[in-house]
A = this chain, B = another copy of it.
Amino acid sequence: MPIEIPDVVIDRLPIYARALTALERSGRDVVSSQELGAQLGVTPAQIRKDLSYFGRFGKQGRGYNVKRLLEELHQILGLDRTWRMVVVGVGQLGHAVLSYGGFAPQGFNIIEAFDADPAVVGTTIADLVIKPVSEMRATLTGQHIDIGIVAVPAASAQQVIDGLVESGVKAILNYAPIAPFVPKHVHVKDIDPVLSLQSMTFYLKGDQPSNGQVGPSTQQP
């Protein structure tokens, strides 16, 4: 595969996989890029282009075989196996992450959880005993952990992420409101609601009649 695949394409594939899973469950065998696009708010051309990076899936005018495309996407994305995760930071957000029922059915298993607060350490959440973050490195030594979920305050996030990387973690799901430094081989996805809000207000600011500004041209489509 000599072509470099843009990250934004990779980001859309799980969305396609989710929609195909729903179609498969409802007993559908074939779906067109038109229908898939309409369901997801993406143009059919975009879907065809995204999938074309990985080979030829649909037959002209016949749509995609739902089951086959889903299997291919699972293989492409590595969703046909399980992944081992740790959670660092068990405040309200970390607690919600540990309790969330949506990870394990998708193959994302939380193996360990750590916190700095002595009042939290030793408690059990979702069958996991919370361990002290000071023992994180020692606990993870010799364990293969794929992904670290970081739900600590901003001030301690970089240090926690450094520790995870040194423990061999190759991917970080970062809830802390910082842009962490990581080595090139480590992948980071930041989940930051403020950044999401701040990019939506760009589109909103023209909507308020009171401000008298003309909205940007991108408000159409």
List chain A positions with a Cβ less than 8 A from chain B: 1-5, 7-8, 10-11, 13-15, 17-19, 39-41, 76-79, 81, 83, 85, 91-93, 95-97, 99-100, 102-103, 106, 108, 146-147, 149, 170-171, 173, 177, 179, 184-185, 187, 189, 191, 193-205, 207, 211, 216-218, 221
Contacts and interface: CB of A to CB of B under 8 A. Distances in A.
Contact of A193 (B173, B179, B197): B173
Contact of A216 (B1, B179, B191): B1
A20 B15 CA distance: 33
Contacts of A191: 191, 193, 196
Nearest to A11: B199
Contacts of A96: 91-93, 95-96
Given A19-B179, A79-B198, A83-B197, 8 more contacts: A3-B217, A4-B218, A5-B217, A13-B198, A81-B205, A83-B204, A102-B193, A103-B194
